[in-house]
A and B are shown apart, each in its own frame.
Chain A
Amino acid sequence: MFFEYSIEGGNFAQAGSTSSQVKKNLKQLNVDGSVIKRTVVALYEAEVNIVAHAFRGTIIVEIMEDKIHILLNDEGPGIPDIGKAMEIGFSTASPEVREMGFGAGMGLSNMKNNSDELHISSKVGQGTRVEITNYFQAKPVSLQ
């Protein structure tokens, strides 16, 4: 089961709408509640990062019987030092974004804590690719 979404950089009014849609889909499929909760946190942070930092991006969600795989690709400034970006409190968000309560430097650690597998790669001046995988270990879903 595939879903693809387009994300517009800077459009905070829409931030979180993909996460909300994915949450609805997972609920309909009867995925375990704790897996939904974790997936939504990781995806929301990744989605907001595209809105806050990139020009545009795509989110491709694939739901399989045993896992959900989310691929986020953006065109944007990229991350020069991913290790540094993972540190709690490190942020390059603008003052405007911070005033809204975003950009506290907690997003990537939230993504890490709420993903079974997280892969981030980035090219400065081009963009960032984030892959989140969460497993439905205890309870496979039926995709009929």
Chain B
Amino acid sequence: MKISELADRLGLILYGGSSGIDKDAEGGYCSDLLSDVMGHAHANQVWITVQTHKNVIAVASLKELAAVIIVQGLEPAPEVIVQSEAENIPLLGTSESAFEIAGKIYSILK
């Protein structure tokens, strides 16, 4: 499913990286540890996290992830949004918890 469609269905906020929203999401990975994501996430997955700093975009780009979803209503700083635009990584947000949004994404994509 396209990131744009996933975002619509889940009511996600799009902070940046809109040029990447036509990418297909092939599953997800839920973690707040960057090395865990580096070691275990796969390309085209959606990354669900509470981390909001610039390195999140660097990791997402290096791993060719489909998008980043920031949970709990946390908001990325302006420079993180700029980075998401530069790297074409959709940066999305939700007020829901990682557990809730991961559950919904799982039931949509499984």
- Nearest-neighbour CB distance to chain B for A33, whole angstroms, equals 9
Cα(A13)–Cα(B33), bound, Å:
17
Interface residues of A in 5-37 (CB under 8 A from B): 12-13, 15-17, 19-20, 23, 37
Contact assessment for A12 and B53 in the assembled complex, using a CB-CB cutoff below 8 Å: yes
Which A residues lie at the B interface, using CB under 8 A?
A: 12-13, 15-17, 19-20, 23, 37, 40-41, 44-45, 48, 100-102, 104, 106-107, 109-110, 113
Residues of B within 8 A of A15 (CB): 55, 58
Residues of A within 8 A of B38 (CB): 41, 44-45, 106, 110
Total residues of chain B contacting the partner, CB 8 A: 19
Contact assessment for B54 and A102 in the assembled complex, using a CB-CB cutoff below 8 Å: no
- Nearest-neighbour CB distance to chain A for B54, whole angstroms, equals 6
Q: Chain B residue with minimal CB distance to A51?
A: B55
Contact assessment for A40 and B62 in the assembled complex, using a CB-CB cutoff below 8 Å: yes
Q: Is B32 an interface residue (CB 8 A)?
A: yes
Interface residues of B in 50-64 (CB under 8 A from A): 51, 53-55, 58-59, 61-63
Contacts A45-B38, A101-B51, A110-B38 known; A16 to B32 CB distance under 8 Å?
no
